Amino acid sequence: MSSASEISKELKSLVQEFEQTLDQASSLQDIEAARVDYLGRKGRLAEIMSKLPGLPNEERPQIGRKANEIKQELNSLLSNTISDIDKVKEDEGQALFDPSMPGRTPDIGSLHPVTKVINDICSIFVKLGFDVVTGPEIETDFYNFEALNLPPGHPARDMQDTLYISESVVLRTHTSPLQVRTMLKRKPPVAAIAPGKVYRRDSDLTHTPMFNQIEGFLVDTDVNMADLRGTLTAFAHEIFDPGVKVRFRPSFFPFTEPSAEVDISCVMCGGRGKSATGETCRVCKETGWVEILGCGMIDPAVFEKVGYDSEKYTGFAFGLGVERVAMLKYGIGDLRMFFENDLRFLNQFS
């Protein structure tokens, strides 16, 4: 037969155990099972209470009161747990208890159009045998200017709107320093392209202080202008459309001689200069042509800086603006779209 103190102990541990059982319950069914187990007619509380008649008369009322208190405590634990579960049900719109509800699909990201165009351009040149190289965005005067035949005081330095970190350290204004870095490391024949961010103190409708360029160059014996034309024409046909016309216009860059700029027939108006309804084409400004890159035969002065024998080797180089190519390829009219991260814009490329 149990004594009053044993019964009292059992009652106390009942509360703790009930609490633990409820903690583990994850559905209303679990809670109902716990209720039957503890508070039911043949439950654990009832079982303890059945021992009361065996107690001495003077101890019975006190333990009886205690048992009633415990019963109330168990009941309030029960209703708290039920209302907690109800709240979860409400918050999750019943999903907790409706296995037939379709799952929530998380948004899957997609590549930024600029990244896509970088990848596309790189893979075209990789197929042609070019390696992909990269280099630092913080660059010294030597690589960004001097080794590219732009000595201090050269007027063409002004064109670049340079952001200076110190007198001899700059944020690179173009990816052309990768020509120098790569040629210093490798001996000809070498063919490489270098994608990367470049920086200029320039910001308006068609310029941003940071944009992406891709540099390309090839050095070997007997490389000539026809190789450059063939390579860049094949590239333009591949990245835009085999039907685009490509033209080379004489130009000037300090690191190439001769130099050219490459235009393609306007992708918006098909080179007609006018839209189908006869309006002026805003992309090519009625000329029928749009510029896509600068290029030329690498100046012997650059070879001298990197220790290549300019009697033996010749090479071509080119540099293009990635955002510009992306705008033409996807028909985007406003450069700023690329930098605003508006999902309504970006989702169109997924």
Positions in the binding site for ligand DAH (CB under 6 A): 174, 176, 215, 253, 256, 294-296, 317-319
Q: Which is nearer to ligand DAH, 143 or 253 (CB)?
A: 253
Q: Which is nearer to ligand DAH, 48 or 148 (CB)?
A: 148
Shortest separation between residue 295's beta carbon and ligand DAH, angstroms: 5
Shortest separation between residue 248's beta carbon and ligand DAH, angstroms: 12
First to last CA, the chain: 76
Checking phi first, is residue 245 left (phi over 0); if not, alpha (psi -120 to 50) or beta? beta
Q: 228, 318 in Cβ contact below 8 A?
A: yes
Q: Please give the residue whose beta carbon sits closest to ligand DAH in the complex.
A: 319
For the CA atoms of 93, 98, 101, 104, the dihedral, rounded to the nearest 10 degrees, stands at 60
Q: 184, 122 in Cβ contact below 8 A?
A: no
Q: Which is nearer to ligand DAH, 192 or 269 (CB)?
A: 192
Shortest separation between residue 347's beta carbon and ligand DAH, angstroms: 32
Shortest separation between residue 169's beta carbon and ligand DAH, angstroms: 18
Shortest separation between residue 294's beta carbon and ligand DAH, angstroms: 3
Checking phi first, is residue 270 left (phi over 0); if not, alpha (psi -120 to 50) or beta? left
Q: Which is nearer to ligand DAH, 188 or 294 (CB)?
A: 294
Neighbours of 259 (CB within 10 A): 19
CA distances to 34, 175, 206, 211, 263 from 115, in Å: 58, 16, 19, 12, 23
Q: Which is nearer to ligand DAH, 18 or 261 (CB)?
A: 261
Longest Cα separation, the chain: 121
Return d(Cα 26, Cα 34) in angstroms, integer: 12
Shortest separation between residue 90's beta carbon and ligand DAH, angstroms: 60
Shortest separation between residue 215's beta carbon and ligand DAH, angstroms: 6
Q: Which is nearer to ligand DAH, 144 or 265 (CB)?
A: 144
Shortest separation between residue 129's beta carbon and ligand DAH, angstroms: 18
Q: 254, 275 in Cβ contact below 8 A?
A: no
Checking phi first, is residue 174 left (phi over 0); if not, alpha (psi -120 to 50) or beta? beta
Q: Which is nearer to ligand DAH, 215 or 323 (CB)?
A: 215
Q: 149, 254 in Cβ contact below 8 A?
A: yes
Q: Which is nearer to ligand DAH, 74 or 298 (CB)?
A: 298
